[in-house]
Chain A
Amino acid sequence: MTGAGIATVARQEFRLRIRAGRWKVLLGVFFAILLAFTALLRAGLGQLASDELPYKGTILYGGLMLFVLGLALLVVPALAAQSVNGDRERGTLATLQVTRLTAADITLGKFAAAWGTALVFLAMTFPLVAYAMTQGGVPLGRVIVVTVVLALLLGTVCAVSLWLSSVLSRTTTSGVLAYLAVFALTIGTLITFGLVTAVTTETYTASVGGVDCFPACDPGPRQTYTATRARTDRTWVLLAPNPFVVLADAAPQLPDERRDADDRSQIRARDLDPLGQIGGVVRGLRDTRLGEGRLQTDADSEPDAVWPTGLAINVALGTAALWLTTRRLRTPSRNLPKGQRVA
C-alpha cells in the first residue's frame, strides 16, 4: 500500500464520477432541499414567538443537522455500493489488479473518492450553518465537533457500501443491501432496542414503609410490592450505533446559562436544543444507576455519554468493512464467489 497508489485510484475515481455528469444537478437538488428546510424552519420559528424566543439558531442548527444526516444517509450508500462490482461488470477491475496497485490501494482509493464525494454533500450545509450561527446559540466548537462526527458517520456508510459491492456480484443487489444496511443502522437499532428492552424487562420486589420519622411517628408496617422495570442500562448499547443518537449526543452541551441576567423568559439555550434533548434521553437510558432501583437520575451528577460507544462501533464497522474489501480484492484469488468472473 502506498500513498501514491491510493491517490492514483482516488483521482481516477473522482475524474470518472465528475465526467459521468449528473453531479451538479444532484448537488443542486441536495442544496435546494436543505435550503427549503432551513427557510421553512426559520419562518416557523419566527411565527411562534418573535423576540420572546432567544437562541433561534440553536433550534435551527440542531434541526438542520438531524435533517442533513437523514438526507445524506439517502444519498451516500449510492456513492460506493456499485464501486467494485460495477468495475467487475465493466471489465475494468482485473486490468487494475494486474498493475502494481495493491488491493489496499484500490480499496482505499475507491473509499477516498466515495467519502470525498460524501463530504462535498456535507459541505453544502456550510452556508446554512453559517446562517444559523448568526441567529445565536450556536458555538463554533459545537459546529466543528458535529461536522467531524457527521463526516465519520458518512464514512462508515461509504465503507460498508464499498464492502457490499466487493462481495456481491450484482450491482443491484449491493445497492439494495447498502440501503438496507442504513435502514438497519437507523430504524433497525431503534426496533431492536425496543424489542430487546421489552423482553428483558424484569419484575422486582421492593418494600416501603418503616421509615424513620421525626420527631416521632408510627412507622407502620413495611409493605412490599412488585413492579417492573426496563433494564435500559443494559440494552442502551443496541441504540448507541444509531447515527442520529451518535450525532445528537456528540454535540457538546450548550452552556447552562441565561442569555443575560434580566432575561425574563428564563430560557436556556440547552432547553431548546434538539440535539441535546436526544442526547439527554439516551444518556438517561444508559444510566447504570437504574439498575440499583432508581428511576430518575440524580440532578447533581451527569449521566455517562452514549456517543463514544456509538461512534466507536461505527468506526470499527467501517474499518472492518475496508479490511474485508481489501481481502476480497487481493489477487491472485484462491476462491471465487459463485457466479463471479475474474476478468
Chain B
Amino acid sequence: MLTSGPEPAAGPPPSGVGVVAKGVRRTFGPVEAVRGIDLTAAPGEVTALVGPNGAGKTTLLLVLATLLVPDAGEVRVAGFDPVREPDEVRARMGWSPDVFGLYDNLTGREYLEFVGEAYRLGRARARTRAGELLELARLPEFADRPVHTMSRGQKQRLGLARALVHEPQVLLLDEPASGLDPRSRVELRELLRHLAGTGTAVVVSSHLLGDLEELADRVVFVDRGATVGEHRLDQLPAGAQLRPWRIRALDNAALLVALDRHAYNHDGPHAGGVDVRLASDEAAAALLAGLIGDGVPVISCQPLGGALEAAYLQLTEQGR
C-alpha cells in the first residue's frame, strides 16, 4: 500500500458528528468490492470521494447510508452506527444515489411531501419543507406539474432536494453532477458549499474533477476497494510526479526540433499542440524560457487538467 503525501491538516472530526469510516470491507460473493476504505468527513466541509469506476465508492456510500452491512470496519455516521442504530442515522443523514427513480405521476410537491412524511416530519411541516426545497432546487414551476415532464437535470435536482427534506447533518451524494448542464453544476456547487457553510458534512463522489477542485475541502482517493490517499485540497501531493503540459506554437516543426534538442519526451503534434510531461511548475517555466530562447514562436503553454486530475492520475496509476 502506498503512503499518501502530507497528512490531512484537519484530524478526524470530533466524535458524534460527520462521518468516520475505518477499514471498511465488503465482498459480494467472490468480488471484493471494498477491501479497506478509510474516510473521514468533518461537519462544515465538503469531502470528495474520488476513484475510477469499480473502486468501491458506491459500495462505501451504501454502507454509510444504512443500506449495506460491511463485512468489517468501524463506521459512524452523525455519531451513530449504521448497522446497529440505522434509524438514528437515517434521521440525520441524507443520501442520493447515482441512479435513482422518481414517481413519474406525482408532482414535485407531492413527491417531496411524501418523502417528508416518510421522514416523520408531520403533514404540515412536510408541506412547508416541500415548498422551501422546490425553491432551493429552482423547481418552483414544477410544484404542480408531474415529474415525468422534468428534464434529466431537473430530476437530478429534485433527487438532491429529496435528500435534504429532513435537514440532514450528513449528506452523501453519489455522482450528483452526472447529467447536469454546466449552469446546474455551478449551482450544485454553490448549494453544496452553502450546506457545508451551515455545518453539514458533505460527502460527494464524482468523476468531474474540475468541479470537485472548486467544491471540495478534502479529497479521499480510492482505487480497487482501498483508500490510496487522503488530502486537503490545498495540500495535494505535487512535485515528484510528471504532469502533462500542452504547448502550442505557430511553427510545429521548430517546436519539435527544439524539444528534441532539449531531450524532452513529447506526444504529438496533434490539433491541440504538443504534449510534454513535466515534473513541476518550475520545470515548465524553464522549458518555456528555453523554447523562447531558441526562437520557437510559442503561443501557449498550459497544464492539462487540474492539480486534482494530476493527483488522481498519479494515485490511480500506481500498481497498474
Residues of A within 8 A of B (CB): 4-5, 8-9, 12, 15-16, 19-20, 87, 90-92, 94-102, 331-334, 336, 338, 342-343
Contacts and interface: CB of A to CB of B under 8 A. Distances in A.
A94 B67 CA distance: 8
Contact of A334 (B29, B69, B82): B69
Contacts of B67: 94, 97-98, 331-333, 342-343
B83 interface: yes
B117 A98 contact: no
A92 B120 contact: no
Interface stretch (B87-95, B192-200, B254-262): B87-95
Interface residues of B, number: 34
Contacts of A95: 95-97, 100-101, 115, 162
A113 to B, nearest CB: 13
A332 to B, nearest CB: 5
Nearest to A89: B101
A19 to B, nearest CB: 4
7 contacts: A19-B105, A87-B101, A92-B100, A95-B97, A98-B93, A100-B118, A336-B28
A288 B188 CA distance: 75
Contacts of A15: 105-106, 110
Contacts of A91: 97, 99-101
A16 B97 contact: no
Contact of A92 (B28, B90, B101, B105): B101
For A8, A97, A343, which residue has the most chain B Cβ atoms within 10 angstroms?
A343
Contacts of A4: 117, 120
Nearest to B94: A98
B103 A100 contact: no
Nearest to B105: A19
B114 interface: yes
Contact of B115 (A5, A99, A333, A342): A99
Contact of A332 (B28, B29, B63, B106): B63
A338 to B, nearest CB: 8
A219 to B, nearest CB: 79
Given A8-B117, A8-B118, A333-B67, A98 B99 contact: no
B4 to A, nearest CB: 29
Interface of B: 28-29, 62-63, 65-69, 82-83, 86-87, 90-91, 93, 95-97, 99-103, 105-106, 110, 114-115, 117-120, 162
Contacts of B117: 4, 8
A152 B117 CA distance: 30
Contacts of A12: 103, 114
A102 B87 CA distance: 8
A333 B95 CA distance: 17
Given A19-B105, A100-B91, A343-B100, A333 B68 contact: yes
Contacts of B95: 95, 98
A342 B118 contact: no
A290 to B, nearest CB: 54
B105 A16 contact: yes
A336 B59 CA distance: 13
B100 A98 contact: no
A99 B119 contact: yes
Given A98-B90, A98-B93, A332 B69 contact: yes
A342 B68 contact: yes
Contact of A331 (B29, B66, B99, B106): B66
Contacts of B162: 95
Given A15-B106, A98-B67, A331-B86, A90 B115 contact: no
Given A8-B117, A16-B106, A98 B66 contact: yes
B82 A100 contact: no
Contacts of B83: 332
Contacts of A97: 67
Contact of A100 (B69, B90, B100): B90
Contacts of A87: 101
B114 A8 contact: yes
Contacts of B110: 15
Nearest to B96: A95
B175 to A, nearest CB: 12
